[in-house]
Amino acid sequence: MIKQIYLNLPVKDLTKSMDFFSHLGFKFNNQFTDETAACMVLGENIFVMLLTEEKFSQFTDRKIADGHQTSEMLIAIDAPSRKAVDEMVIKALEVGASLYSKPKDHGWMYQNAFADLDGHQWEVLFMDEEALRKQTA
């Protein structure tokens, strides 16, 4: 069983990326943060390592994808309400993010999305479990 997850994302400017995600309310684990990497805490055992491109390239022989041109992954995170979904996206836009899709309402799930400073795509979603139960009953 997996105990923790670490997503590794390359960033052009670590300080700007840390400021961006701090504005969204995320915290960093200073024990695993230096001038080349920052450990952003998403949950109790869920982390995103923001790595300078130079540091990221030490872990792979492949070319680093340009998030503004390609989609390397979609990062989906949950929020406690529809309002919180939109609030996070608005905060992200305030500090330089861009929208890459319109909000989607699936009845039991609502999602909105932004691309961060490096073009990484973040899906913010709220799942109404009661509405899902009714839909599948």
83 and 136 fall within a common domain = yes
49 and 81 fall within a common domain = no
* Domains identified in the chain, total number: 2
41 and 87 fall within a common domain = no
| Per-residue pLDDT tens over the stretch 22-75 | 999 999 999 999 999 999 999 999 999 999 999 999 999 999 999 999 988 999
b/e map of 67-96 (b: 16 or more CB within 10 Å)? beeeeeeebeeebeebeebbbbbeebeeee
Containing structural domain, residue 41: 1-60
What average pLDDT is seen over the chain? 94
CATH code assigned at 8:
3.10.180.10
Cα distance between the two ends of the chain = 30
88 and 48 fall within a common domain = no
